[in-house]
Amino acid sequence: MEDVKKQIHELRGNADSVENIIQLGDLYLKTQDILEARHYYERAIKEYPQSIQGYNRMANFSFCHEKFFDANNYYSQALRIDSQNIEALVGMGRTHLQQNGLDRAEFHLNKALKQAPEDPTVLFYVGLTNLKKHNLLLAERHLTASVQSKDYQYWSYATFYLGVLNFQKGFFQEALNYFNSLKAIPPFSESMPINYQALKNNIGVAHFRLGNYEYAKRAFLEVITEKYPKNAQMWLNLAMVYWVQDKLEEALAALKTVHRLEPSKWPWLSAVTHYTTEGSEWLKAKMDSFIKENPKGVNVAMYLGCVIPNRYPFIDAATRHVLNSLKVGVVELEGAGCCPAPGVFRSFDINTWLTLGARNLTISEDLGRNMCIMCNGCYGTLNDVNTELKHDKLKRNYVNDKLKEIGKEFKGTIEAEHLVWVLYHDIGIENIKKMMNHKLDLKVAVHYGCHILKPIHNKPWKEDFETPTFLDELVEITGCTSVDYQDKLMCCGAGGGLRGSEKEISLDFTRDKLESMRKAGVDIIINCCPFCHLQFDLGQMEINNLFKDKISGPFTIPVIYISQLLGLAMGIDPFSLGLLRYPQKKGVPPFIPVDPLFTSIQKDLECLRELI
């Protein structure tokens, strides 16, 4: 420090150039004398208004002190003097990046990239901007180039973000390799607590996703100490490590800490107590109290189909919890049978298909309620049958002649509606939006499925069937982002009896979709059909075995039904929605764990302001 003071003394009598004035400011900054540093930076601007150096230094000073509006103004003035100045262009990019103005950041940083395509600082910030914009291919290209530049400062930070990028793409081992390579690097050592904590957290979550629970626990416990007590997300990550191992006492203790530190992150403390002590009795009691009729609102008759009650009963439970929260009256379709499946029965005997479908519709007619259907295939059948019999007297007479034998008659007095239509249209997306109180932040691959969209002549979506958005809109009111991906509207691979007759071909379809989803870096898959759900859930395990030599790594993307996602965002506890279970059961759905939904890596570093 004495050397610095000596330099200041020598320069103060020699401050006759912009360089010397700025150097004085830098020296005062080293002594922590912020006021004097600012004085000399402002003096450089005042005495040398045509020199870009003073504006850039004052902008950097403002940026480091979180005065981003001021920083933006100073960088703008620098660019008026020299529109191609790299430091000012990068500075503008960083400022917009800090304020989440990603398009403006990209504009300035791309200009800098044209001027200096090999500059590691430029490459780093271009890569980081693309990562935040979820342009993963470009992000990987530029961050990798920044790492290869051997510039020490940016090598470490670019390596961290390459770990984040690989994690987002589902390559957890590759992500872990990047994170582990930083453990001995000073910017991520214990001497920089923020970086150290972020790195340890990400190492722990990567181990969690790989099933290395002991390593994950160890990583979290290394930083969850008196030294770093207040990171609620890290405590939640640790709670999930305990939860998946059925270590209930430890999991509950961690969840209590999460609730104490940040109640909004884990608002279900009371629910977890009921669930773990009363189990199914508690859940049953809740559902027994649900609304059966709303005289002034929407009322439906619930059609379950086959796959939901036999394979995924939690889809039924989640849907009922959501509809009840939305004040929808729900009654059962007592005695309903298979829809029957459009890709099977209709192919062999149309008249039998019509008759069996009509029988189900008459049960809903007798109740005087529209039918609410949770399966695309069931919807395809029941909506088609309902439409055909309403408009074709000959078919209606044939069917009613058969139904007369069991004392039933098709009258055509109700509508067969998909659950998504009930949510989107009958209840209304704006009304559902008002119920969102637990904001989610996930990158979502939306899968529509086939029968909800086509044939279009009897579907309510009309002009939207080629580029539908209704399911994406429902997803995005939760705070999630619906990510575009290749072949988004392609069949899941299970339809038309293909899964039952040609399993390998069926799974090859699914593999293509999963590869596209993984390239897009999605966190979860959202669907509105239990058969599609089965194909993505059980199908991922089957693909991991059947195509293990052809895929770039095992698929482990959680598969969530739309009502489960909406319910979570509405604040409904994850136990009622079937998203968390205790104890963990083996060999039953879901086959791909959904527990990771509640864990999170740290995707950004607060210390980026220090990179001047």
CATH number at residue 204: 1.25.40.10
439 located within any domain: yes
Instruction: Find residue 300's DSSP bridge partners.
Output: 330, 370
612 located within any domain: no
**Which pLDDT band, with edges at 50, 70 and 90, does 106 fall under?**
very high
**Which pLDDT band, with edges at 50, 70 and 90, does 595 fall under?**
very high
Identify the CA nearest to 558 among candidates 521, 593, 608, 609: 593
Higher-confidence residue: 588 or 347? 588
Q: Is the pLDDT of residue 612 over 60?
A: no
Q: What pLDDT, on a 0 to 100 scale, did the predictor assign at position 14?
A: 76
pLDDT tens digits along 347-375: 788 999 999 999 999 999 999 999 999 99
26 located within any domain: no
Which segment of 38-47, 185-194, 374-383, 580-589 scores lowest on mean pLDDT?
185-194
Contact by Cβ (8 Å): 115, 89 = yes
The tokens of 396 are what?
């209606």
Query: CA 38, CA 522: separation in Å to the nearest integer?
Result: 45
pLDDT tens digits along 372-431: 999 999 999 999 999 999 999 999 999 999 999 999 999 999 999 999 999 999 999 999
Q: Is the pLDDT of residue 1 over 80?
A: no
394 located within any domain: yes
Q: Looking at the structure, do residues 236 and 214 belong to the same domain, yes or no? A: yes
Query: CA 54, CA 51: separation in Å to the nearest integer?
Result: 7
Give the CB-side neighbour count of residue 271, counting CA atoms within 13 A.
Answer: 15
The tokens of 84 are what?
């191609």
Higher-confidence residue: 228 or 381? 381
Query: CA 188, CA 178: separation in Å to the nearest integer?
Result: 12
Q: Looking at the structure, do residues 444 and 543 belong to the same domain, yes or no? A: yes
Higher-confidence residue: 606 or 296? 296
Mean pLDDT of 121-140: 96
Give the CB-side neighbour count of residue 258, counting CA atoms within 13 A.
Answer: 23
Q: Looking at the structure, do residues 432 and 399 belong to the same domain, yes or no? A: no
Which residue range is the domain that position 384 belongs to? 286-420
Rg of the chain, C-alpha, whole Å: 30
Helices (H) and strands (E) in the chain, counts: 30, 8
Contact by Cβ (8 Å): 378, 305 = yes
> Helices 86-98 and 52-64: crossing angle, nearest 10°?
20
Its pTM stands at: 0.94
Q: 481 in helix, strand or coil?
A: strand
Q: Is the pLDDT of residue 463 over 70?
A: no
Contact by Cβ (8 Å): 45, 21 = no
What is the torsion angle, in degrees rounded to the nearest 10, for the CA atoms of residue 62, residue 66, residue 67 and residue 72?
70
Contact by Cβ (8 Å): 33, 66 = no
DSSP designation for 422: I
Contact by Cβ (8 Å): 591, 311 = no
Residue that terminates a domain, selected from 420, 453, 479: 420
Share of the chain above pLDDT 90, in %: 80
> Helices 193-209 and 232-244: crossing angle, nearest 10°?
20
Burial of residue 116 (CB within 10 Å: 0-12, 13-18, 19+) is middle
The tokens of 152 are what?
């020490």
CATH code, 488: 3.40.50.11810
75 located within any domain: no
Share of the chain above pLDDT 70, in %: 98
Contact by Cβ (8 Å): 577, 564 = yes
**Which pLDDT band, with edges at 50, 70 and 90, does 198 fall under?**
very high
Q: Looking at the structure, do residues 407 and 435 belong to the same domain, yes or no? A: no
Mean pLDDT of 560-579: 98
Query: CA 524, CA 121: separation in Å to the nearest integer?
Result: 33
Backbone angles phi, psi at 230, to 5 degrees: -110, 20
Q: How far is CA 540 from the centre of its chain?
A: 19
Q: Which residues contact 365 (CB under 8 A, 6 or more apart)?
A: 410, 411, 413, 414
The total number of structural domains that make up the chain:
3
Q: Is the pLDDT of residue 2 over 90?
A: no
Q: Is the pLDDT of residue 608 over 80?
A: no
Long-range contacts at 150-155 (CB < 8 A, ≥ 24 apart):
151/120, 151/121, 153/187, 153/611, 154/120, 154/121, 154/123, 154/124, 154/611, 155/120
Classify residue 340 as left (phi > 0), alpha (psi -120 to 50) or beta: beta
CATH code, 322: 1.20.1050.140
Residue that terminates a domain, selected from 373, 395, 420: 420
Q: Looking at the structure, do residues 416 and 430 belong to the same domain, yes or no? A: no
Query: CA 73, CA 65: separation in Å to the nearest integer?
Result: 14
CB contact burial 405-434 (16+ within 10 A = b; e otherwise)? eeebebeeebbbbbbbbbbbebbeeeebee
> Helices 248-261 and 232-244: crossing angle, nearest 10°?
160
CB contact burial 565-579 (16+ within 10 A = b; e otherwise)? bbbbbbebbbbbbbb
Longest dimension (CA), the chain: 110
What helix, strand, coil percent values describe the chain, rounded to 5?
A: 60, 5, 35
Q: What pLDDT, on a 0 to 100 scale, did the predictor assign at position 267?
A: 96
324 located within any domain: yes
Residue that terminates a domain, selected from 420, 441, 456: 420
Q: Looking at the structure, do residues 430 and 397 belong to the same domain, yes or no? A: no
Q: Is the pLDDT of residue 327 over 50?
A: yes
Q: Is the pLDDT of residue 273 over 80?
A: yes
248 located within any domain: yes
Q: 301 in helix, strand or coil?
A: strand
Q: Looking at the structure, do residues 432 and 452 belong to the same domain, yes or no? A: yes
Q: Is the pLDDT of residue 65 over 60?
A: yes
Q: Is the pLDDT of residue 611 over 60?
A: no
Contact by Cβ (8 Å): 528, 420 = yes
Which segment of 21-25, 269-273, 379-383, 463-467 scores lowest on mean pLDDT?
463-467
Q: Which residues contact 35 (CB under 8 A, 6 or more apart)?
A: none
Q: Looking at the structure, do residues 365 and 461 belong to the same domain, yes or no? A: no
Query: CA 247, CA 236: separation in Å to the nearest integer?
Result: 14
Q: What pLDDT, on a 0 to 100 scale, did the predictor assign at position 523?
A: 97
Q: Looking at the structure, do residues 295 and 256 belong to the same domain, yes or no? A: no
Contact by Cβ (8 Å): 432, 566 = yes
Average pLDDT, the chain: 93
Q: Which H/E stretch holds residue 161?
A: helix 152-168
Q: Looking at the structure, do residues 587 and 448 belong to the same domain, yes or no? A: yes
Q: What pLDDT, on a 0 to 100 scale, did the predictor assign at position 152?
A: 65
Q: Looking at the structure, do residues 535 and 455 belong to the same domain, yes or no? A: yes
19 located within any domain: no
CA distances from 445 to 337, 557, 562 (A): 32, 10, 11
Q: Looking at the structure, do residues 439 and 408 belong to the same domain, yes or no? A: no
Q: 303 in helix, strand or coil?
A: strand
